[in-house]
């Protein structure tokens, strides 16, 4: 990582959020319809109200099989890579639910002790050709930058004896009827945990989301003459109490492994009955809810009202749900009003699933598709041509691309109502671009739409997919006032894209690129002052507006309790965003630990300094003299942690104590227990920044020493509000690079990865760094040997700021440039060395 600073702020790299407003309405236009009449004088086929915003979308994706089974055996999975390329690059999928099946890898118990992992056994299992193929597929997904959007989905029968033939329906040694006896739950957890641990630590797969159990309600509900043992999609666990118990045990086991950052997508039930019961049971346990990233549902209908009603219940603390299985374009468009934030098509490409073979289906690809759909509509998006061993997109691939390509992660659903054989949905992209996608299920027709609370007289480009033509550009469409009319062929999927000149009001001016987000990682409600000065929760979001912050970490006091009110704020540390969060403003409770050795009257005192822990699932008051034990407490929950208040170091061997000095940071850095160090309290504009024992440059000096010793630790900054003379939130802030839609977990993982830029003067400027035109802060560049690299530094600002850019190499300034950065006129420094 490179450190860059100037006279007004210390920074690494940031990014800018555009707020253009674009319509995408894809339509095949035979020719523009004439006579743009007032919509009140004619029938209106759809209405869009730009003032009514709904869910923010995490992304769109697909299910894929990570194995390749053909001609009776597992084969090289490299053949899947062209299909994955089509899904990621041409379709635009950003979420991949990667199926690992069946769950029979532990054919015999490893050692009959679920508390002990027999790694000689497991290493052999996970090194078989089948698993080598799985790891190769997952590695390739990572190489395609599918990391945050990667779900490991476990399917099929539980651990059992082979063979894999439907005529020899195997029964699990964990229980009869493909079930899991209560006495065997720990064995199932051990088996799953072993796979996940191997995937991350041996196969080096980057993942954070897991769907551990699939459709556990289907065995018991599908027994008939054709399927006397029922259809097996996952272990037979129709009891929500047992399901919740297993999920909790798995979470705890992963915590023990140091994999506390893993989150679940669950329960992925086949029907809404078990989903409702699991949601009710899981919601009772704060730990389980803290481990839940999204509710997972399977819905092959054209509306999602039943799931929407369940998820919105007041006693459900997590309102985020993904439709992890659906098929057909009307499935997708029809469920958009449900509030779901992610959608995954079943299935991505032709393949053979072993659990489908067990259920009596074919041995040829595809053998597990939505067979009740007419014609090929329910088949996978991509066809496998066995004669040529090549891949060919089906019609539904192009239909889904009409939406996947143009609606970006982070887009917000806009209220849309349609009728007359139309499915229409609209979305506002993160850059302000409105996307409207529709399906004309009838004959060729002229469609009329009314756009309310949106820019008028806008020009649109159109795109269309029919049975004969795929993603074909159509003519421009000109909106007249609030009305738009256009012609659409029969059974066509269409999209319109509005001109970028159309905007939803004045754009926010931000200095950082779109994929960087500004936040304050050190905020309190109190600083030990009078009760009446405690910051009310209802004012937090408003306080974020001053410096246009996307994230704040509100730290409850898990130490001496100096910060009020620990007894009420510590229970708010749940791993979930605070309910007062709104789109674009994440408020999240985490914790700070300290037992000050000086200046307080508390009986217990420690030299450990102040620790900030981000990403906790729970927090309690802990007395301990050693920060190591506190760091271990956070690490087991998947949290990141670091020392703050480096401004009190004074860059020397300490002879005096103060409240917050991080004396033990060199030891914990060497032990690898901290992820970041932080400067806090005063901005560069505060006169206190250079008074008393406050040294604003101490953090940089300490940071250089850590880097020179080979420790890769991130640099952050926060205000410690209101202990900073109540300067606004974000007066010191941290920019973090995030892939895809912003979430708190992604933001703190960006900190852990070193993808940070810090500023001392609020949200006014940033310095962007590129090495070899692509690598930025936190990236690791591996060179085969000594060679010349290019370095480019760009300083942008939202107001005129003067200063000097410096590039520092091994502690020496090797290039510099003075200049004034102002809107539209950045200062750039380039070198090759």
Question: Under the phi-then-psi rule, with left for phi > 0, alpha for psi from -120 to 50, and beta for the rest, what region is 644?
Answer: beta
Class of 59-404 in CATH: alpha beta
pLDDT of 11 reads: 30
pLDDT of 30 above 80? no
Whether the Cβ atoms of residue 728 and residue 506 lie closer than 8 Å to each other: no
pLDDT, one tens digit per residue, over 646-691 is: 888 876 676 777 778 888 899 999 999 999 999 988 776 666 655 5
Give the pLDDT band of residue 31 (cuts 50, 70, 90). Answer: very low
The tokens for 649 are 């170091």
pLDDT of 37 above 60? no
pLDDT of 421 reads: 85
Closest CA to 261 of 551, 622, 641, 570: 641
Whether the Cβ atoms of residue 322 and residue 128 lie closer than 8 Å to each other: no
Taking CA 543 as the corner, what is the angle to CA 538 and CA 547, rounded to the nearest 5 degrees? Answer: 155
pLDDT of 172 above 80? no
- Mean pLDDT for 291-295 is 93
pLDDT, one tens digit per residue, over 39-71 is: 444 589 999 998 899 998 999 999 999 999 988
pLDDT of 79 above 90? yes
User: Distance between alpha carbon 457 and the CA centroid of its chain, in Å?
Assistant: 36
Q: How far is CA 694 from CA 523, 659, 758, in A?
A: 19, 12, 18
CATH architecture, range 515-762: Alpha-Beta Barrel (3.20)
pLDDT, one tens digit per residue, over 122-142 is: 999 999 999 999 999 999 999
| Alpha-carbon torsion, ordered 638, 552, 718, 656, to 10 deg | -60
pLDDT, one tens digit per residue, over 419-463 is: 878 999 999 887 777 889 999 999 999 999 999 998 777 888 889
Domains 23-57+407-498 and 59-404 share a fold: no
Mean residue pLDDT of the chain comes to 86
pLDDT of 721 reads: 93
Greatest mean pLDDT range, 643-652, 689-698, 761-770: 761-770
pLDDT, one tens digit per residue, over 602-645 is: 677 777 789 999 999 999 999 888 899 999 999 989 899 999 98
Q: Which runs of consecutive H residues, i.e. helices, occur in 465-551?
A: 540-544
pLDDT, one tens digit per residue, over 152-167 is: 999 998 876 443 444 4
- Mean pLDDT for 578-590 is 89
Whether the Cβ atoms of residue 227 and residue 360 lie closer than 8 Å to each other: yes
Whether the Cβ atoms of residue 449 and residue 48 lie closer than 8 Å to each other: yes
In the chain, domain spans:
23-57+407-498, 59-404, 515-762, 764-833
Distance CA 477, CA 34 (A): 11
Distance CA 545, CA 554 (A): 16
Return the minimum-mean-pLDDT range out of 158-172, 206-220, 359-373. 158-172
Share of the chain above pLDDT 90, in %: 54
Q: What's domain 23-57+407-498's superfamily in CATH?
A: Golgi alpha-mannosidase II (2.60.40.1180)
Q: How far is CA 398 from CA 123, 330, 441, 624, 796, in A?
A: 42, 14, 16, 60, 40
């Amino acid at each position: 990582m490179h450190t860059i600073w100037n006279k007004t702020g210390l920074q690494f790299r940031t990014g800018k959020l555009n707020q253009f407003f674009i319509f995408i309405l894809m339509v095949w236009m035979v020719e523009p319809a004439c006579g743009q009449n007032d919509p009140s004088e004619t029938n209106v086929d759809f209405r869009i109200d730009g003032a009514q915003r709904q869910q923010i979308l995490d992304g769109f994706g697909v299910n894929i099989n990570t194995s390749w089974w053909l001609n009776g055996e597992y084969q090289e999975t490299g053949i899947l890579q062209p299909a994955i390329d089509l899904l990621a690059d041409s379709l635009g999928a950003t979420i991949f639910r990667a199926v690992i099946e069946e769950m029979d890898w532990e054919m015999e118990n490893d050692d009959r002790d679920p508390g002990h992992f027999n790694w000689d056994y497991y290493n052999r299992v996970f090194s078989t050709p089948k698993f080598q193929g799985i790891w190769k597929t997952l590695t390739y997904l990572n190489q395609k930058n599918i990391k945050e959007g990667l779900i490991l989905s476990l399917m099929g029968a539980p651990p059992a004896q082979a063979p894999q033939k439907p005529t020899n329906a195997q029964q699990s040694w964990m229980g009869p009827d493909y079930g899991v006896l209560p006495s065997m739950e720990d064995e199932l957890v051990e088996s799953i945990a072993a796979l996940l641990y191997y995937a991350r630590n041996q196969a080096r797969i980057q993942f954070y989301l897991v769907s551990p159990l699939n459709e556990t309600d289907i065995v018991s509900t599908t027994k008939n003459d054709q399927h006397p043992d029922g259809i097996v999609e996952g272990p037979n666990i129709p009891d929500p109490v047992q399901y919740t118990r297993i999920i909790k045990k798995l979470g705890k086991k992963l915590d023990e492994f140091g994999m506390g950052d893993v989150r679940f997508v669950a329960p992925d039930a086949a029907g809404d009955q078990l989903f409702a019961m699991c949601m009710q049971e899981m919601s009772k346990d704060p730990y389980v809810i803290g481990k839940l990233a999204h509710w997972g549902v399977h819905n092959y209908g054209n509306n999602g009202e039943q799931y929407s009603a369940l998820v919105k219940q007041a006693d459900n603390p997590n309102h985020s749900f993904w439709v992890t299985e659906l098929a057909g374009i009307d499935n997708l468009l029809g469920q958009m009003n449900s509030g779901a934030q992610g959608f995954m098509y079943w299935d991505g490409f032709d393949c053979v699933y072993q659990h489908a073979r067990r259920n009596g289906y074919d041995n040829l690809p595809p053998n597990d598709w939505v067979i009740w759909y007419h014609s090929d509509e329910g088949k996978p998006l991509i066809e496998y041509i066995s004669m040529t061993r090549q891949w060919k997109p089906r019609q539904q691939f192009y239909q889904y691309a009409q939406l996947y390509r143009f609606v970006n992660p982070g887009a917000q659903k806009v209220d849309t109502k349609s009728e007359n054989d139309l499915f229409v949905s609209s979305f506002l992209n993160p850059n302000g671009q409105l996307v409207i996608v529709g399906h004309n299920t009838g004959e060729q027709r002229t469609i009329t739409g009314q756009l309310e609370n949106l820019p008028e007289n806008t020009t649109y480009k159109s795109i269309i997919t029919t049975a004969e033509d795929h993603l074909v550009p159509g003519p421009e469409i000109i909106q007249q006032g609030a009305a738009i009319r256009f012609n659409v062929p029969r059974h066509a999927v269409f999209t319109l894209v509005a001109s970028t000149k159309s905007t939803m009001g004045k754009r926010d001016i931000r200095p950082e690129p779109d994929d960087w987000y500004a936040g304050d990682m050190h905020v309190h409600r109190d600083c030990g002052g009078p009760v009446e000065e405690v910051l009310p929760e209802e004012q937090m979001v408003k306080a974020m507006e001053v410096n246009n912050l996307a994230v704040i970490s509100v730290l409850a006091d898990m130490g001496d309790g100096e910060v009020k009110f620990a007894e009420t704020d510590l229970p708010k540390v749940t791993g979930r965003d605070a309910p007062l969060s709104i789109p674009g403003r994440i408020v999240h409770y985490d914790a700070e630990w300290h037992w000050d050795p000086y200046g307080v009257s508390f009986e217990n005192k420690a030299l450990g300094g102040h620790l900030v822990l981000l990403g906790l699932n729970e927090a309690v008051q802990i007395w301990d003299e050693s920060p190591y034990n506190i760091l271990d407490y956070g690490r087991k929950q998947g949290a990141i942690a670091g020392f703050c208040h480096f401004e009190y170091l004074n860059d020397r061997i300490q002879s005096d104590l103060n409240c917050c000095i991080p004396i033990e940071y060199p030891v914990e850095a060497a032990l690898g227990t901290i992820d970041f160090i932080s400067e806090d309290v005063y901005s560069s504009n505060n006169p206190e920044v250079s008074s008393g024992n406050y040294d604003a440059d101490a953090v940089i000096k300490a940071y250089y020493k850590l880097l020179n010793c080979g420790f890769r630790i991130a640099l952050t900054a926060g205000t410690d509000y209101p202990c900073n003379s109540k300067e606004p939130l974000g007066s010191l802030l941290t920019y973090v690079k995030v892939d895809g839609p912003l979430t708190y977990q992604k933001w703190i993982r960006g900190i852990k990865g070193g993808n940070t830029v810090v500023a001392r003067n609020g949200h006014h400027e940033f310095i962007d760094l590129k090495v070899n035109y692509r690598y930025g802060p936190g990236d690791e560049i591996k060179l085969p040997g000594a060679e010349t690299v290019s370095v480019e530094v760009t300083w942008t600002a939202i107001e005129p700021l003067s200063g000097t850019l410096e590039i520092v190499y091994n502690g020496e300034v090797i290039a510099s440039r003075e200049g004034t950065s102002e809107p539209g006129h950045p200062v750039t420094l380039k070198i090759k060395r």
